[in-house]
């Protein structure tokens, strides 16, 4: 009987213990779920707490996200490719513009320079000469003289020896004239067989002496060609210019419309011709 009175009571389960509250049950369930998630990381928690429909919906969302990401990558790739192509086209356009500018500069240089001798050509001379006349008309210059050099045997050399010979002949004369003039003077190949020297701010006496010196130097030149010695024969004349002169009066053979087309200048900007500035002629 005593043993029955001192019998140890049986242990009750936790969920049936009178002190085991619903809060304790929730904490135990959460701990068990946490341990299961930690032990099996390959299985998303959503698969343990959601049904098959929710899992399928999430799978579709993941698939759609991957497709959108792939589409974005392709779009960005195409955009970058287009930007690169546009940049290359822009650079090619800039290079083309630079080339065209160089070509234009080259053409402009040759539009005022003789391609054979490198001297100023007809247009280059007219532009410079008109500026000198304008300076004289405004009292900024005193005028000067033009020395006209005609190659008397140029046509015969061209006819007999051809294009290369006549070009070499013109270069010989042009280089000689360039070496006999001042830096401030302008040497021009005005036509194939005609050269002009513009001497600004020089007296007639000094210009006449210069012309005689040039005539002697040129007429003592010769060129070796095809086993022959080809002499240079020139004739020289002087033409003074100053305030009040009209360019077509000084430059014989140059029409007013030619001057206007070259420089877009009106002849009305020049004063009437001065009879005292008539053309003087002196043959060396």
pLDDT above 70 covers what percent of the chain?
Answer: 69
51 vs 236: which has the higher pLDDT: 236
pLDDT for position 264 = 58
Distance CA(201)–CA(207), nearest Å, equals: 10
Residue 142 has, within 13 A of its CA and on its CB side, a CA count of 6
User: What would the mean pLDDT of 142-165 be, rounded to a whole number?
Assistant: 93
Q: What does DSSP assign to residue 11?
A: P
Q: Residue 277 above 50 pLDDT?
A: no
70 vs 256: which has the higher pLDDT: 70
3-state secondary structure of 188: strand
Quickly state the pLDDT bin for 110 (edges 50, 70, 90): low
Which domains are delineated in the chain? 20-77 (no CATH), 122-277 (3.30.70.270)
CA torsion 85→91→92→93, rounded to 10°? 110
Quickly state the pLDDT bin for 80 (edges 50, 70, 90): confident
User: What would the mean pLDDT of 240-251 be, rounded to a whole number?
Assistant: 84
Quickly state the pLDDT bin for 96 (edges 50, 70, 90): confident
């Amino acid at each position: 009987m005593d043993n029955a009175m001192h019998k140890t009571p049986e242990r009750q389960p936790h969920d049936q213990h009178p002190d085991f509250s619903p809060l304790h049950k929730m904490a135990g369930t959460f701990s068990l779920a946490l341990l299961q998630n930690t032990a099996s990381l390959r299985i998303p928690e959503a698969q343990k707490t959601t049904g098959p429909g929710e899992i399928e919906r999430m799978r579709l969302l993941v698939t759609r996200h991957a497709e959108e990401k792939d589409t974005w990558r392709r779009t960005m790739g195409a955009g970058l490719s287009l930007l690169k192509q546009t940049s290359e086209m822009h650079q090619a356009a800039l290079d083309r513009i630079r080339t065209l500018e160089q070509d234009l500069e080259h053409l402009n240089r040759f539009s005022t320079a003789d391609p054979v001798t490198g001297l100023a050509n007809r247009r280059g001379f007219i532009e410079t000469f008109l500026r000198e006349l304008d300076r004289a008309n405004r009292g900024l210059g005193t005028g000067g003289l033009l020395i006209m050099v005609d190659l008397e045997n140029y046509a015969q050399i061209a006819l007999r020896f051809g294009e290369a010979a006549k070009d070499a002949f013109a270069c010989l004369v042009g280089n000689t004239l360039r070496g006999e003039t001042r830096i401030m003077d302008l040497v021009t190949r005005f036509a194939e067989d005609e050269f002009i020297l513009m001497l600004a701010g020089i007296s007639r006496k000094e210009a006449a002496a210069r012309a005689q010196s040039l005539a002697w130097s040129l007429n003592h030149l010769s060129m070796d060609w095809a086993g022959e010695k080809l002499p240079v024969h020139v004739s020289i004349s002087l033409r003074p210019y100053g305030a009040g002169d009209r360019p077509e009066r000084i430059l014989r053979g140059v029409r007013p419309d030619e001057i206007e087309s070259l420089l877009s200048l009106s002849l009305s900007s020049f004063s009437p011709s001065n009879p005292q500035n008539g053309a003087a002629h002196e043959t060396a």
